[in-house]
Amino acid sequence: MEELKDASIHHTALKLSSDIKTMKIYDNLYKMVQKLACSPDVDKNDMKTTLEVAIKSTGLDTEIRNLIYHLIRNSIRADVRSTASSSHDPLNYLRRAGIQWERRVKRSLTAMCAELKVPLQGQTRIHTDREELATKWEELSNYQVDLSNYRPVYAPKDLLEVLLSLKGPTKHEEDEFLPRWEFSHIALPVKNLFELRVHFGDLLRHDVGVTEWTAQCHKVLALRHAPVCQQILRKGCTPAPVRGQLWAYVLGSHIEAHQQEHWESLKSNVLITDLIVDKLVFKDVQLTATNDDQYFVFEDVLYQVMLCFSRDTEISQLLSADTSPANAPKAGKQFEGPPCGIVPHHGICMFAAPFCYLYDSPVKLYFTFRAFYVRYCHRLTTINTHPQGIVSLCLLYEKLLQTHEPQLWSHFRELQIQPIRVVFKWLMRAFSGHLPPQQLLILWDLVLGFDSLEILSLLAVIILSFRKESLMQVSYIENIEAVLADLSSIKVLPLIQLALSRD
């Protein structure tokens, strides 16, 4: 058994070593180790021991540990996803629905290009346009674009209608009597409240004082060790001045020289090439963030970030590790749309908007947002079988509501209103644009700390519970939406703690 264990560790080490060598940061790490090996601190007669000491004394060991942590984290994420495509697989229909949804979105973008007579793959900007865009890069809100003929390719309600139309294989005769709008027929495993209580158990433990906690956060930040930074976020009371740095360590998005170069390359591409998604980005920011009292001041930086995001071919590569090959975003020959492989939807910029409160540099903002999007947000806008994908979150929400708020569930049933309709926009946007920014950042602290989107479904249910009395008095979905429209009074942490402590 020990021999098998040693062999497993050996193979894992070889795999990690091979992966590190393919990364852009590898050359810099290798040069740093070479310099240390040649320094007076390293004794050639005891190279192994003295080099290890030198690596630790310079803090290079922490960088290497964080690198390995993120590689292992991503490899576990890839292993968790199911890639089965057998005709006997009960979730095969769901995977096919995901492929069909991606094709539908791409067809819509292609049709828009044909209608407007613009090339899907883009065209080179004329010199005057390039000069104007470069001049106004810091104030893109002053860059004039005619958006009158452009519209979002799809909105949350479009994805919801597809999800509600999903029909899986019927196993038993009694399944025919289940309401078609429920997600109960989908054979995805989701946690019950007890399992959620175990998973989010740190939220129920005794809190330390604010001063003591702030000092502890600064100590953790000084360590620069990603797993410890992730652990500190689990309390949901991160001091604002250190939140951005903690998130960057947890997501592995600290800026290196090659990332600064990559940003400049993306910016250059924006200035040179005119894509249809540029108009969609401008349209989306104007329809959402510009009309939001909390985010309108960040209009200019959101244009920069989202325009560069649309050009980033690395995003497609990063997502391919988290998505089945059939559902992975495609760029290039397969789909000559956005280079990133992602077609902008209504509200996509709201995934980036909260990061404006954390960073004063668009480069830092971009890479942390990109890492967050790749790890979490894309699961909310695709039909997939991931345990934390949008389908699983909808199923979790409905099971929790039916089990722990049976009166509300029955009320919705009597009114013939699908319960998911009243919260889907919250789930798909991870509450961005719905919660006040400071409360949203607390919620996303928990998403990062527990590496889980399940907290979204739990919060959705407890908000309905919190407003149960008002919801029970209304009979139309418009009135229900009115009751739930204003979340400015919601305090995320106390409500989630309340939800976890219920019987």
Kindly give the confidence (pLDDT) of every residue in the chain, 503 residues in length, as a single tens digit, with 9 standing for 90 and above. 555 555 566 667 777 777 777 777 777 777 777 777 787 877 777 777 787 777 777 777 777 777 777 777 776 554 444 444 445 677 888 999 999 999 999 999 999 999 999 998 899 999 999 999 999 999 999 999 999 999 999 999 999 999 999 876 655 544 555 445 578 888 899 999 999 999 999 998 766 677 888 899 999 999 889 999 999 999 888 999 999 999 999 999 988 888 999 999 999 999 999 999 999 999 999 999 999 999 999 999 999 999 999 999 999 988 876 554 444 554 444 456 799 999 999 999 999 999 999 999 999 999 999 999 999 999 999 999 999 999 999 999 999 999 999 999 999 999 999 999 999 999 999 999 999 999 999 999 999 999 999 999 999 999 999 999 999 999 999 999 999 999 999 999 999 999 999 87
Please report, as a single letter, which amino acid is at residue 169. Answer: P
Spatial separation of the C-alpha atoms in residues 49 and 383, rounded to whole Å: 51
Spatial separation of the C-alpha atoms in residues 225 and 229, rounded to whole Å: 6
Three-class HEC string of 458-499: HHHHHHHHHCHHHHCCCCCHHHHHHHHCCCCCCCHHHHHHHH
DSSP 362-381: HHHHHHHHHHHHHHTGGGGS
Spatial separation of the C-alpha atoms in residues 468 and 407, rounded to whole Å: 9
The pair of three-digit structure tokens given for residue 261, joined into one six-digit string: 């170069």
The answer to whether 326 and 211 have CB atoms below 8 angstroms apart is no
Q: What pLDDT score was predicted for residue 88?
A: 62
Q: What pLDDT score was predicted for residue 31?
A: 76
The answer to whether 203 and 498 have CB atoms below 8 angstroms apart is no
Task: Give the predicted TM-score (pTM) of the model.
Answer: 0.88
Q: Hey, is 273 helix, strand or coil?
A: strand
Q: What pLDDT score was predicted for residue 333?
A: 44
Spatial separation of the C-alpha atoms in residues 428 and 389, rounded to whole Å: 10
Sequence-separated (6 or more) residues with CB below 8 Å from residue 25: 67, 256, 258
Q: What pLDDT score was predicted for residue 326?
A: 44
Spatial separation of the C-alpha atoms in residues 288 and 280, rounded to whole Å: 12
Q: What pLDDT score was predicted for residue 499?
A: 94
Q: What pLDDT score was predicted for residue 84?
A: 44
Query: What's the distance, Cα to Cα, between the start and end of the chain in Å?
Result: 43
Report how far Cα 105 is from the mean position of its chain's Cα atoms.
19
Q: Hey, is 191 helix, strand or coil?
A: coil
How many C-beta neighbours within 10 Å does residue 370 have?
Answer: 24
